[in-house]
């Protein structure tokens, strides 16, 4: 014999079962194509932090299609890469005041430009290209890229006592800091 209490209990149990099945049956969130990453380290007395999004090569021609020579690039994916130092430093022989900057790079076959821009927080690109106002550039230096020791599927920044490097695909772009 079905009673209203028994029917109510059964309906409640059925509802809870259905909700539990729906929650546990959902696919796990997919990892981001270019996950956020942070490199931190010390160069002399300065604490350095580089915050960026790390795209993968995924069989693409990185240096022709994603970051072509002669065009400013956000030095990562998604939002513009940021570089923070808590002390004044010397980058490739030029002074950079303590602060937070967006970093853009202009790849070249034999030489790259590294651009530190005072505007931060912007999306890294627009339809016209890299999203920065050159009037806000506080420092531009030239560096020489080299072949990396190993293939790096994901873009990576590494900080050591001599500065930092961008490592991606078969390339390393070292930047000297004192």
pLDDT of residue 128: 74
pLDDT in tens, 127-177: 777 888 999 999 999 999 999 999 999 999 999 999 999 999 999 999 999
| pTM of the complete model beyond 0.75 | yes
More confident of the two residues 22 and 153: 153
Q: Which residues contact 24 (CB under 8 A, 6 or more apart)?
A: none
Under the banding of pLDDT at 50, 70 and 90, the label for residue 22 is: low
Domains of the chain, residue spans = 36-176
Measured distance CA(168)–CA(157) in Å, rounded = 9
Measured distance CA(59)–CA(134) in Å, rounded = 32
pLDDT in tens, 23-68: 555 666 777 889 999 999 999 999 999 999 999 999 999 998 889 9
Measured distance CA(104)–CA(90) in Å, rounded = 18
């Amino acid at each position: 014999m079905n009673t209203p209490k028994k029917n109510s209990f059964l309906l409640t149990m059925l509802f809870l079962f259905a909700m539990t099945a729906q929650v546990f049956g959902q696919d796990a969130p997919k990892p981001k194509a270019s996950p956020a990453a942070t490199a931190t380290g010390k160069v002399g007395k300065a604490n350095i932090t580089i915050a960026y999004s790390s795209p993968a090569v995924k069989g693409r021609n990185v240096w022709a299609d994603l970051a072509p020579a002669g065009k400013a690039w956000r030095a990562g994916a998604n939002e513009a890469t940021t570089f923070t130092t808590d002390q004044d430093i010397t980058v490739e022989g030029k002074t950079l005041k303590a602060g937070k900057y967006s970093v853009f790079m202009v790849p070249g076959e034999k030489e790259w430009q590294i651009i530190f821009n005072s505007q931060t927080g912007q999306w890294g690109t627009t339809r016209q290209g890299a999203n920065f106002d050159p009037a806000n550039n506080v420092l531009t230096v030239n560096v020489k890229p080299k072949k990396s020791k190993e293939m790096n599927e994901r873009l990576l920044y590494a900080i050591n006592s001599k500065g930092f490097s961008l490592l991606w695909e078969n390339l390393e772009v070292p930047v000297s800091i004192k």
